[in-house]
Structure 1
Amino acid sequence: MDGLLVDSEKVYYQANQLAAQKMGFEVTAEDHQAILGTTDTYLRQYFLQKLGSPELVKQFIDLSYRTVDEIIQDQGVAIKPGLVELLDYCDNHGINRVIASSNFRTMVEDFMQSTGLKPRFNQIVSGDEVTHGKPHPEIFLKALDKLAIPAPSALVLEDSPNGILAASKADIPVIMVPDLIAPTAITNQQTLATVDNLAAVIPFLEK
C-alpha cells in the first residue's frame, strides 16, 4: 500500500525526520530506504541499533506516528497515478485483488477509508497478521490463500526491493512501480518489468 497505492512513504519520511530532529538525531535517506516495506518489529530493531535504548526507540516511533497523523490531517494523502484506471480495469475484467501491506491493519484501513479506496479491494493481509515480514514471502503466500489461486496465476505490484524479493521467494510474478527507490540490476532480474505508473500495468494483464 505505502508508496504503491497511496503517496504515504514521503509522509513517513518527513515524520521520521521531524521526530528525530526533536530528539536530537538524524534520519537519513539511507535509513528510510533500509526500513521501506518492512514490519514494525524490524523498524524497532533497526532504530535500536541506531539509538541503543528501547525507551528512546519507543519515544521516537510514538512521536513519528503522531506526526504522521498530524501531517495527514493537515495535508491529506494522495493516491498514486494510474490507480483508478487500474482498479476500473480489474473491475471490468473480474480480477480480484488483495492488499498485502507490512503496515498495521488499522493504518491500512485508515488510509483506505480516507482516500475512498476501501470498497475497491477484496481483502487485506497486514504486517500484524504475519510472523515474518518482507522480504520473507509469508505475506504474499497468505494473500494467495485468500485469492485461492496458484502463484503463477497471480501478479504482485511492488515499489520496494524488500517486497520484490518477497514476491520472488513466493514464486509470484512481480512488476515494480518505483516510488522512492529506483530500480536496480537486482530488482530488474527479479521482476517482469518496471513501469512508470499503475495504469501501465494494464497491458501486462491483457497478455
Structure 2
Amino acid sequence: MFSAAIFDMDGLLIDSERTIMNTWIAVGQELSVPVRPVDYAEIIGRSLPECHAMLARMFDAEPVFQEALARVRQRLHSPTTPPVFPLKPGVHDLLTTLVKAGVPCAVASSSSGQEIRSRLARVGVLDFFDAIAGGDEVVRGKPDPAVYELAASRLEKSPGDCLAFEDSENGVLAAHRAGIRVVTVPDLKQPSVEVIGVSFAKLESLDQAIECVSTWFGVELLTQDTSRDVVNDSAHQNFPCK
C-alpha cells in the first residue's frame, strides 16, 4: 500500500498535449516544415530544453525553428485567445477522493513550476496539491528520475511510499527509475511493451483509479459518490486493483 500520490500534469491531469502538438503541426505547415504526430510523440514528457533541441532538428535551420517557436508561444500564451487546457476525465473526482482520504498529492511535471501553478489554478485544482516539482528545478528531465525524486522529498515520503500516475513513456520510466511504482494512463501514444512491463497498472482513464483508492492507499473512503458511475460501469468490472 502507498501513502502518497504523485501526478504528471500535461496529458494526464489536463488535456494540453494535443493542443500543443496541433499548434506545432500548424506552424510547421505555415513554414513548409512537416511535423508528423509520430515524430512529435517522441518529445512528450521530456524537459523543455530537450523538447526544443528535438524540434530544432525537425525544423533543420535554427532561424526557421526560432520563428516557429515564436509563433507557437504567441498562440499558446496570447492573452486574447488563450488555449483551453481542460481537466481530463476523472481528475477532479480522483483528487477529491484522495484528499478526503488524507492522501497527500504532488505534481512532478516537465513544465516549469510557474506553468504548473498557472495551468492547474486555471482549472481549479491547484489547491489539491501539497507539493510541486517542475522541470525547471532539475538538471535533467524525464526519463531521468530527478523530478520524481524531488516531488517525493517535498512530500517527505520515500519513493516506495508513493504511487505515480503518468501518461508518457518518458514519465513512466522516470518514476520507475526513481523507485516509485507507476500507473500508466496513455494519452497521445500507447505505451511500449517495456513501459507496460514496469507499470504497476494500466488504465484507460483516471476514472478507473477512483475505485482502487481504498486498495492502493489502504484507506476507508469517506464517500462513494465520486466512484458510483465507475463501479456500475460494466466496462470497468474486471479492472484489477492490485
Offset, 1:59: 2.0
Q: Deviations over 1:59-93 (max 9, x none)?
A: 22221122223599366221010011101111111
1:137 equivalenced with 2:126 (yes/no): no
Q: What is the aligned counterpart of 1:62 among 60, 63, 70?
A: 70
CA 1:30–1:24: 2 relative to 1, 3 Å: same
Question: Which secondary structure state, in structure 1, belongs to the residue aligned with residue 179 of structure 2?
Answer: coil
CA contact (8 A) 1:99 1:121 kept: yes
Q: Which residue of 2 aligns with 1:88?
A: 96
Higher RCO, Cα 8 Å, sep 6+: 2
CA contact (8 A) 2:76 2:83 kept: no
Q: Which residue of 2 aligns with 1:102?
A: 110
Identity value in percent = 27
1:119 equivalenced with 2:120 (yes/no): no
Q: Deviations over 1:124-149 (max 9, x none)?
A: 11111110000000000000110111
What is the rounded CA distance, in whole Å, between the counterparts of 1:107 and 1:18 in structure 2?
Answer: 23
CA 1:91–1:72: 2 relative to 1, 3 Å: farther
Q: 1:2-13 residue pairs with structure 2 within 5 A?
A: 2-13=10-21
Superposition CA RMSD, Å: 1.8
AA partner of residue 122 (structure 1): D
What is the rounded CA distance, in whole Å, between the counterparts of 1:123 and 1:56 in structure 2?
Answer: 38
Unaligned runs of 5+ in 1: none
What is the rounded CA distance, in whole Å, between the counterparts of 2:34 and 2:80 in structure 1?
Answer: 22
Q: What is the aligned counterpart of 1:45 among 43, 53, 75?
A: 53
Offset, 1:98: 0.9
Q: Deviations over 1:105-140 (max 9, x none)?
A: 232222112211222222211111110000000000
- How many equivalent pairs are there? 207
For the pair shown, the structure with the greater C-alpha radius of gyration is: 2
Q: 1:142-157 residue pairs with structure 2 within 5 A?
A: 142-157=150-165
Question: Which secondary structure state, in structure 2, belongs to the residue aligned with residue 149 of structure 1?
Answer: coil
CA 1:22–1:99: 2 relative to 1, 3 Å: same
What is the rounded CA distance, in whole Å, between the counterparts of 1:62 and 1:112 in structure 2?
Answer: 24
AA partner of residue 97 (structure 1): C
What is the rounded CA distance, in whole Å, between the counterparts of 1:189 and 1:71 in structure 2?
Answer: 43
CA 1:72–1:175: 2 relative to 1, 3 Å: farther
Question: Which secondary structure state, in structure 1, belongs to the residue aligned with residue 41 of structure 2?
Answer: helix
What is the rounded CA distance, in whole Å, between the counterparts of 2:65 and 2:79 in structure 1?
Answer: 21
CA 1:183–1:72: 2 relative to 1, 3 Å: farther
Which structure has more helix as a fraction of its residues? 1
TM-score, normalised to structure 1's length?
0.93
Q: What is the aligned counterpart of 1:78 among 76, 86, 92?
A: 86
Greater mean alpha carbon deviation, residues 139-148 or residues 55-64: 55-64
Greater mean alpha carbon deviation, residues 40-49 or residues 149-158: 40-49
CA contact (8 A) 1:19 1:67 kept: no
CA contact (8 A) 2:196 2:202 kept: yes
What is the rounded CA distance, in whole Å, between the counterparts of 2:82 and 2:149 in structure 1?
Answer: 37
Q: Deviations over 1:18-72 (max 9, x none)?
A: 2112222111112211100111110121123223333332222221122223599
Q: Which residue of 1 aligns with 2:190?
A: 182
Offset, 1:171: 1.0
Offset, 1:199: 2.7
What is the rounded CA distance, in whole Å, between the counterparts of 1:52 and 1:32 in structure 2?
Answer: 15
CA 1:103–1:75: 2 relative to 1, 3 Å: closer
